[in-house]
Amino acid sequence: MRKKISIIGSGNVGATAAHWAATRGLGDVVLLDVVDGVPQGKALDLSQAGPVDGFSVSITGSNDYDDTAGSDVVIMTAGLARRPGMSREDLLAKNVAIVKSCIAEAVKRSPGCVLIVVTNPIDAMVHTAYKVSNLPRERVIGMAGVLDSARYRAFLAQALDVAPRDVSAMVMGIHGDNMLPLARLANVSGIPVTDLLAADEIEAIVKRTQTGGAEIVGLLKTGSAFYTPGLAAVEMAEAVLTDSRRVMPCAAFLEGEFGFSGCFLGVPVVLGDGGIKRIVEFPLTDEERTAMEDSERVVRRQMESTGI
């Protein structure tokens, strides 16, 4: 029996996630939205790419949560997108209401699912989803670390003129200006980036990574990033659906790991069947711990603002 992935929200991120999931043949896809015709039209269009690309999964567009029943993974993308000059925090109040409603309906139909939350601000929205769903912590995951790490790796690859796939780098902490791109662990095929780039070059790349989302928002002017966020969510879903035990930086609910408890922070986790198999801990430097503490403070303010 094929796996089932439901994507809540058929905007740019949701539709792009459906595209990536279909082309990878991960399972049958349901694209759900409140706007009549939009998910149906996008699903029909994507289905017609099957003969060209070679995928054979079912792709359904729907306005009815009943069509999501029995999903193995639910990817939450619905919500308002950022506009120029708008911070992730500006989105919080409006998107809390959307996430609460969508998650309650989705989990009612798929109580055994793994939730992957993409809606911004992610750290607050994954907290909202966790509280509303009543699912165990290993089955509620925020996406941002995979996205932020992809941006970090891309910028490093450009600076070094090497293949992006050969760059290994990770971003921890909040999805926002206080995120922690780890410079000391970044490497190219095992060669430390600190041996290949000057300190000021690395610092500039770290800063660009921290504001990478805003850079795209400023260029697009009417929306935010969607190609890489959609793919990042599907990369996580694939690890869950195939039980591949991939190590990825994700927003996970911490219960003492890295010295933090009671909140979601981006940390490396092992993803497999059922969601997070374990959180991978390692010693942080004093500077890195300070950055993580800064992330925690911002996340806790966001948590309080949700009212949940």
Integer Cα distance of 102 and 83 in angstroms: 23
Q: What is the pLDDT of residue 93?
A: 81
Integer Cα distance of 301 and 291 in angstroms: 16
Examine the pLDDT at 116 and tell me if it is beyond 70.
yes
Q: What is the pLDDT of residue 89?
A: 67
Mean pLDDT over 116-140 rounds to: 96
What band does 217 get if pLDDT is binned at 50, 70 and 90? very high
Known catalytic residue at 19: no
Structural domain spans, the chain: 4-144, 145-306
Mean pLDDT over 125-142 rounds to: 98
What is the second-level CATH architecture of the domain 145-306?
A: Alpha-Beta Complex (3.90)
Examine the pLDDT at 13 and tell me if it is beyond 70.
yes
What band does 284 get if pLDDT is binned at 50, 70 and 90? very high
pLDDT tens column, 35-81: 999 999 999 999 999 999 999 999 999 999 999 999 999 999 999 87
Q: 50, 263 in Cβ contact below 8 A?
A: no
Mean pLDDT over 8-32 rounds to: 98
Mean pLDDT over 96-106 rounds to: 96
The CA distances from residue 70 to 65, 74, 107, in Å, are: 11, 10, 9
Share above pLDDT 70 across residues of the chain, in percent, rounded to a whole number? 98
Q: What is the pLDDT of residue 92?
A: 85
- Please, what is the average pLDDT of the chain? 96
CATH code matching the domain that covers 4-144, chosen among 3.40.50.720, 3.40.50.2000, 3.30.9.60, 3.40.50.970: 3.40.50.720
Considering the candidates 3, 151, 153, 175, report the single residue annotated as catalytic. Answer: 175
